[in-house]
Amino acid sequence: MNDQPIVDSDEPTTPARSWNRTAVLAAMFCIPFFCPPMTLIGAGAGAFALRSLKKNPDTKGAWLAWTAITFGVTCTILASWMFWISGLRTIVLGPSLALAPLFANDTQGMKREWDGPAAALSQEQLAQFTTFVSDRYGKYLSAHISEKRATPLEQSWKRSMVVIPITIVFSSGPIEADLGLERFNQKTGKSSMIWRSLRILDAANADVLFPEGEPAPPALETHKSGEIPAPQSSGGANTTTAPAKAQQTP
């Protein structure tokens, strides 16, 4: 005899709730947490998912949406800060970041922005250089990326030391210069993005090199397509080394 209860087939059943697609998509955008654009999109998608869940109560995934918003915003802030301190700050702010502490004789600022002999100079040694430069060109006003000379793209990824062509504006007028930027440490291979050297281009008198004891930035030249550039020396015949002993080369 069959003792199993009889189930009424006409009794309504609650259908299983499906996952909200926007909430799932928001969570997927947050998987590459090291990429700020993706995590920011994930946070935005999470906000859209909450609106979609209100309009479609038969779907689920509210916890996914809130997780995407919280995780996305947090990772975007942290990753952006890490990119900023690891080199993006140097690229965005440009040469003014390097020259401001130099011409202000700020030793602490030099230690933050420069490395090598330049970071070890005393305030008196910095003042010796800035006095020498101001006597020749006038008061330092500002600096920006050069509009006359372009930086070859191929040098940026093949060398630890890259050359940034800049224009320094003094009270006597603008003058071209080269900044040496160490992109990564050759010994450790870690990204450094720190300034090492400066060459003020002066064909009338002599190029000014800073600092003493640091190789000058490699000469920046434009080559024709297919032409193999010749090796460049670190200095030139017509240069003046500063600041410790800024002397005019005969």
**46: nearest Cα among 72, 69, 13, 21:** 69
Query: Is residue 70, in this structure, part of any structural domain at all?
Result: yes
DSSP character string of 24-45: HHHHHHTSSTT-HHHHHHHHHH
Contacts of 31 (CB under 8 A, 6+ apart): 38
Considering only residues 223 and 183, tell me which one the structure prediction assigns the higher pLDDT.
183
Same domain, 48 and 150: no
Share of the chain above pLDDT 70, in %: 72
Question: Given 88, 112, 137, which residue is the final one in a domain?
Answer: 88
Q: Which domain holds residue 218?
A: 94-241
- Given a cut of 60, whether residue 223 has pLDDT beyond it is no
Instruction: Judge whether 137 lies within some domain.
Output: yes
Domain count, the chain: 2
- Asked if residue 113 and residue 39 are part of one domain, the reply reads no
**Same domain for 112 and 73?**
no
Instruction: Using the 3D structure, point to which of 70, 88, 106 is the last residue of a domain.
Output: 88
Interval 16-42 mean pLDDT: 83
Q: Are residues 101 and 84 in the same domain?
A: no
Is 130 part of any domain?
Answer: yes
Spatial distance between the Cα atoms of 196 and 179, rounded to a whole number of angstroms: 8
Residue 1, in any domain of the structure: no
Claim to verify: residue 34 and residue 104 sit in the same structural domain: no
pLDDT in tens, 3-14: 655 555 555 556
Same domain for 59 and 124? no
Residue 249 lies in a domain: no
pLDDT digits (tens, 9 = 90+) for 195-213: 899 999 998 888 999 998 8
User: Quick one: pLDDT band at residue 219, thresholds 50, 70, 90?
Assistant: confident
pLDDT, position 172: 94
Residue 84 resides in a domain: yes
Question: Does 246 map to a domain?
Answer: no
120 and 237 assigned to the same domain: yes
pTM: 0.60
> Which residues neighbour 128 within 8 Å (Cβ) at sequence distance 6 or greater?
242, 243, 244, 246
Of the residues 52, 73, 88, which one is the last residue of a structural domain?
88
What would the pLDDT profile of 112-140 be if each residue is shown by its tens digit?
889 889 989 999 999 999 999 999 999 99
| CA-based nearest residue to 196, from 166, 224, 160 | 160
Q: Do residue 131 and residue 155 come from a single domain?
A: yes
The pLDDT value given to residue 239: 55
Same domain, residue pair 147 and 208: yes
User: Is residue 167 located within the same domain as residue 225?
Assistant: yes
Give the model's pLDDT for residue 231. Answer: 37
Does pLDDT of 67 surpass 70? yes
For the cut 50, the answer to whether the pLDDT of residue 191 exceeds it is yes
Q: Both tokens of residue 96?
A: 């003014």
For residues 48 and 117, membership in a common domain is answered with no
Same domain membership, residue 101 and residue 35 = no
